[in-house]
Structure 1
Amino acid sequence: MKKLLLITFILLISACSQTPINNRYINANWQAIAIAPIEGKQADAVEMELDRVFAISDKVIVYTPDHIRLELDKRNLIKEYNEFPQKVMFELAKELKVDGVLFGQIKTSKTKNQFTGFPITSLYSKLIALENKSVITATHHETSGFMASDNSNISELVELTVNDLNEVLDQINPSTKKSWFEQVFN
């Protein structure tokens, strides 16, 4: 009986696992993040979904990929950004006075999933602190199906990624974390 309870407890704890975060940034109280233009063939769909979700963020100010492109264009940095994306993005982020930069990449592989026989679409992201270029967190989600690269699957991947990032932002800015009551009734 004790073993059964222990196994149940371990399964419960592992099911409630959190997105990993660099502990140095818990309670860092960030004010803003910038989302670099997403890499990959379906980047437009990912960016539209990110714009939709982060447009109403109450956790931090979010500079979306569209805003970043406008800033790059305004500063005549598009060509340089295409050659050295991270370097230019960090320089721009410093000018925008953000605390972190989110980089992302979406890939659809023609390699078929061994169980379903369908292509796989995956979304990878990493949030990097501007002050010392440390990785705060990284996420990876994938989906497979007959239409693995369609917008509904991309929306699902973005939603999973955003949920992970919101969890991390709650730890970086604990004052913005909503209680269970607010989450249910708002």
Structure 2
Amino acid sequence: MDEFAKPAPGVVLLAAHPNWRESRVNRLLLDGARTLPWVQVRDLYASYPDYDIDVPAEQEAVAAASLVVLLHPVQWYSMPALMKLWLDEVLRYGWAYGPHGTALQGKDLWLVATTGGTEASYHPQGYNRYFFDAFLPPYEQTAALCGMRFLPPMLLHGAHRVSAEEIAAHVQTFTQRLGSYPDWPELEDMPACPACDVPQGDRPAVHDQAAAR
């Protein structure tokens, strides 16, 4: 039986790269994801070159998935601009978090990212001054606020200089991991999604607008 022929839960992969032609790694990861028929690949820069995001369509896609993957190069210690806009517009109060915002509760969020700097550069003695884990809290808290479980990220450092053999091995591991989800041994020991209750008083204007409708 083919390794990837088994039924699998819905997976949505949100890919963001401002220039795929210049990508050494993310483009190949994207191609690997596309070999898995149950993975819905959403290339944000191809779909929304004008940054005009179809919020209902994006909400429908992620609401139907069990796993949401964020695939992108790290830019200024964060995600590309269009992916940040996607979070701002799609993960809305009352839908993804806050009162009645339960659309994503119980799902998993997986960050798959590349950095230009080497792993050694993400060190107190390196030019990035911090271990890479120091830049993960915004991702972790985004997941927590939405009631999602933040899975251990998959990272490749030094994407500009790693060898073709290292890239091929990384892509193969990524595709195998994506294909075997949710049968990852480490998931059995991971705690359930945290609860982050947002009082209505923290978003009074939004709450009042919803009540008026």
TM-score of the aligned structures, taking structure 1 as reference length: 0.42
**Which structure would you say has the larger RCO, counting Cα contacts within 8 Å and 6 or more residues apart?**
1
Structure showing the higher strand proportion among its residues: 1
